[in-house]
Chain A
Amino acid sequence: MPIDLSVQNVSKSFGDFTAVDDVVFEVPQGQFFSILGPSGCGKTTLLRMIAGFNEPTRGAIVIRGADMAGVPPNRRPVNLIFQHLALFPMMTVAQNIAFGLQRRREKPSDIHHKIGRILERVDLPGFEDKAIDQLSGGQKQRVAIARCLVLDPAVLLLDEPLGALDLKLREQMKVELKKLQAQVGTTFVYITHDQSEALVMSDHVAVMNQGRFEQVDTPQNLYHHPQTPFVARFVGENNTWSGVVNRCDTEIVEIETASGRHFRSRATAPLTPGTAVELFLRPEAMIIQPGADVPRLNRFEVIVKSLLFDGANSRLLAHPVYDDIELLIALPQNRQFDHIRRDDRIEVAWDEQSGICFASTG
């Protein structure tokens, strides 16, 4: 696979503030690559450097083998879809899409042909003469994508374009964007703070925090094998429980919580006894009322504080007996647990392979 985009040790500082700190990654052709991070983590700055609006303080950005240092945005083979789309309100849909083609001085007949084809591709055939303010949110989205894709860029950059849509439409556009990307085969670099967008659409996700990449991996690995506490906390939901290491085998550590419970859990790195650790537990890793003969389980009792019904995503909010923490426990909707009520005392457990420990950072 040829590499479309290669970001080599890129840093960007604004005065004393380092927005992007020594970021390295490569995106092979045709990949859907996401950069996921909280607001202010530097992901927009990184994207604007790839688009050419900012120059990196250090490092190089290479697109299809060509170093982009000093190349202005209008000469880069990348296009950016802006957060608020930035469609030109004074032009029709066709004029918006034609804008980039006209800048390349393509023939009017070719332009006309290409507009028709790209509008078909984004499912808006016959929309050529519509004004921008006649379009719905989802339609604007697609026109913005068409306006960039018609130029056949090496890399399409997307700056949280789904942020302004309502929930239902966002869910729908997520699936559509992924399908469209698979069809056209263009390399996408997508930035978002919404972990579900990143996980659903991407082939690879980089989790970014305070200007650095914490982990670059497939969505599955990010979820199941987080490499840092930040990733464990940020990607998906997680319960945290702090404790101290008692014993460390090759892969499994035994920890003791403040209330004197003993748990066995996975750890990413060997930990010396006495180290303060944080234990991360997914809500769905928790088994409610496990069978008595299941091996390798960490069992304990909790008191149900409330039932959070949300269809397939329903959960229990509970706190372990003698512990002053709250746990979210997935509540399967197979009617098996319909008898559970508030203030019930129930047994829960988790497999030692489904928890993960990190040494406490602070």
Chain B
Amino acid sequence: MRMKNRFHITLPLICFLTPVLLWLVLLIVMPHVELLRMSLRTEDISGNPAWGVANFMNFFKEPIYWLTFVRTAVYSILVTLMTFIVAMPVAFYITKVVAPRFQGFLMMLLLMPFWVSELVRVYGWMILLRESGVINHFLTRLGILNQPVEMLYNDVSMVMGLVYTSMLFMAVPLVSVLESLDDSLIEAAYDLGANMFTIFFRIVIPHAMPGIVSGSIVVFMLTLGNYLTPNLMGGKNSLWFTEQIYNQFIASFNWNQGSAFGFLLLALSSLVIWAGLKLTRQKLSRVVQ
């Protein structure tokens, strides 16, 4: 019986595995090895190439670097939290409140904006929010504002843009996990004397936990690695860490420094996700199912 479980290398297996392995090695492992190598290259006193951790040390020496880093981490967590707060009622409404025949239609409405590219959607927000934009136009027309106000290029508009961009990635896992919640559990809790608040925190949230965590992981990673939205909607003071990496590679042409930053961002996202899983007592293997 044990023989059956042994791993045999057969021709079909090789055929199926080759593209996956090529993908992994060529596009993920090799670039990262190269980035790691570059991040550890530096110059000695006489200006000759040498090995060292100077690139990583620069990060800690220069406050602008690690301040951006902390800001990016804190805002990403905030965006994840806000996305959850916005998406949870939406998912609950679609799965539990609305009549089943409208569910598909509402899901469609939720998906529709994501047929358009992120760039176009962000420009859409800019058309609405900029000084000469639609909202300012109406507010001044109605006499609420005396003169147009710049609503773009600040942290609030940037966070809003990021929440909007990642909504779907939270809503879809929440909808699927809430669909599996038996309505009679909610009714049973109600019957046993629970109010809406208790039902939500003792029944709905514990049941939805795997979906919440998987949605949060996706949203957090996408937000942390987002470049477009912070760049377009954030102001001069709303620097995102991906912009720092971009600057090092493209503007300063310092690939070694950029590689080091890239690795720090990877470490940050791994750390936060690990902490999040520990905090919610979820296992990664269960969440990714």
**A86 touching B184, Cβ below 8 Å:** yes
| B157 to A: closest C-beta gap in Å | 39
A74–B190 CB distance below 8 A: yes
Chief secondary structure at chain A's binding surface: loop
Contact assessment for A99 and B189 in the assembled complex, using a CB-CB cutoff below 8 Å: yes
Q: What's the least CB distance linking A148 to chain B, in Å?
A: 8
Q: Which residues of chain B are within 8 angstroms of A99 by Cβ–Cβ distance?
A: 189, 192, 194, 202
Interface string of B69-87 (1 = CB under 8 A from A): 0000000000000000000
Closest to B187 in A: A53
* A75 CA to B195 CA, complexed, in Å: 10
Q: Check if A84 sits within 8 Å of B182, measured CB to CB.
A: yes
Q: Which of A53, A83, A89, A103 contacts B192 (CB 8 A)?
A: A103
Minimum CB–CB distance from A290 to chain B (whole Å) comes to 54
Query: B191 contacts which chain A residues (CB < 8 A)?
Result: 51-53, 73-74, 79-80
Contact A88 B185 (CB under 8 A): yes
Closest A residue, CB atoms, query B184: A86
Q: Could you tell me the distance between the alpha carbons of A180 and B260 in the complex, rounded to whole angstroms?
A: 71
Closest Cβ of chain A to B78, distance in Å, is 28
Max count, chain A CB within 10 A of own CB: residue among B188, B189, B190, B195: B188
Number of A-B contacts (CB under 8 A): 58
Per the bound structure, the CA–CA distance linking A90 and B188 in Å amounts to: 14
Q: State whether B207 touches A100 (Cβ < 8 A).
A: no
Main SS class of interface, B: helix
B190 x A86 contact (CB < 8 A): no
Contacts of A82 in B (CB 8 A): 184, 187-188
A122 at the interface (CB under 8 A from B): no
Measured CB to CB, the nearest residue on chain A to B196 is A74
Q: Which residue of A lies closest to B182 (CB)?
A: A86
In the bound complex, CA of A24 to CA of B187 (Å) = 26
Whether B207 lies near A73 (C-beta < 8 A) is no
State the Cβ distance, B57 to closest chain A Cβ, in Å: 47
- What are the interface flags for B163-203 relative to A under an 8 Å C-beta threshold, 1 for contact and 0 otherwise? 00000000000000000001011011111111100100011
B-side interface size class: 10 to 19
The residues of A that contact B190 with a CB separation of less than 8 Å are 53, 72-74
Residues of chain A with a CB closer than 8 A to B31's CB: none
**Does A100 contact B184, Cβ atoms closer than 8 Å?**
no
* B113 part of interface (Cβ distance < 8 Å): no
B183 nearest in chain A by CB position: A86
Give bound CA distance, A75 to B193, whole Å.
6
Query: How far in angstroms is the closest Cβ of chain A from B221?
Result: 27
- Centre residue among B182, B191, B193, B195 by max chain A CB count within 10 A: B191
User: In the bound complex, what is the Cα–Cα distance between A88 and B202 (angstroms)?
Assistant: 10
Q: Give CA–CA (A80, B187) in the complex, Å.
A: 9
Taken residue by residue from 58 to 84, chain A's Cβ proximity to chain B (1 for < 8 Å, 0 otherwise) reads as 000000000000001111000110111
List the A side residues contacting B194 at CB < 8 Å.
74, 99, 103
**Binary interface profile of A, 148-178, with partner B (CB < 8 Å = 1, else 0)?**
1001000000000000000000000000000
Confirm or deny: B206 has a beta carbon within 8 angstroms of a beta carbon on chain A. Answer: yes
Which residues of chain A have C-beta atoms less than 8 A from B188's C-beta? Answer: 80, 82, 86-88
Cα distance A100–B182 when bound, in Å?
Answer: 19
Residue in A53, A87, A89, A100 whose CB lies within 8 Å of B193: A100
Query: Interface digits, B139-169 against A, CB 8 Å rule (1 contact, 0 not)?
Result: 0000000000000000000000000000000
Q: In the assembled complex, how far is the CB of residue B194 from the closest CB belonging to chain A, in whole angstroms?
A: 5
Do A103 and B198 have beta carbons less than 8 Å apart?
yes
Interface string of A102-120 (1 = CB under 8 A from B): 0110000000000000000
Identify the closest chain B residue to A82 (Cβ): B184
Q: Is the CB of A88 within 8 A of B184?
A: no
A73 to B198, CA, bound (A): 14
Task: Quote the shortest CB–CB distance from B263 to chain A (angstroms).
Answer: 39
Q: Which residue of A lies closest to B185 (CB)?
A: A86
Chain B residues with Cβ under 8 A from A79's Cβ?
191-192
With the chains together, A84 CA to B203 CA distance in Å? 17
Bound CA–CA A100/B195 (angstroms) = 11
- CA distance in complex: A227, B194 (Å): 43
Please indicate the chain B residues that have their CB under 8 angstroms from the CB of A53 in the complex.
187, 190-191
> B189: which A residues are within 8 A, CB to CB?
88, 99
Nearest CB on A from B96, distance (A) = 14
Asked if B193 contacts A88 (CB within 8 A), the reply is no
Tell me, yes or no, whether A147 is within 8 Å of chain B by CB.
yes
In the complex, residue of chain B having the shortest beta-carbon distance to the beta carbon of A90: B206
Q: Known: A79-B191, A104-B193. Contact between A84 and B184, CB under 8 A?
A: yes
Nearest CB of A to B181, in Å: 10
A159: min CB distance to chain B, Å: 9
Please judge, given known A-B contacts A90-B206, A90-B207, whether A74 and B184 are in contact too, CB under 8 Å: no
Q: List 13 A-B contacts (CB under 8 A).
A: A53-B190, A53-B191, A72-B190, A73-B187, A73-B190, A80-B187, A80-B188, A80-B191, A83-B184, A86-B188, A88-B189, A99-B192, A148-B192
Residues of A at the B interface (CB closer than 8 Å) are: 51-53, 72-75, 79-80, 82-84, 86-90, 99-100, 103-104, 147-148, 151
Closest 7 CB pairs of A and B: A103-B193, A86-B188, A100-B192, A86-B184, A90-B206, A82-B184, A74-B193
Known: A79-B191, A83-B184. 20 other contacts (CB 8 A): A52-B191, A53-B187, A53-B191, A72-B190, A74-B190, A74-B192, A74-B194, A80-B191, A84-B182, A86-B184, A87-B188, A88-B185, A88-B188, A90-B203, A99-B189, A99-B192, A103-B193, A103-B198, A147-B192, A151-B193
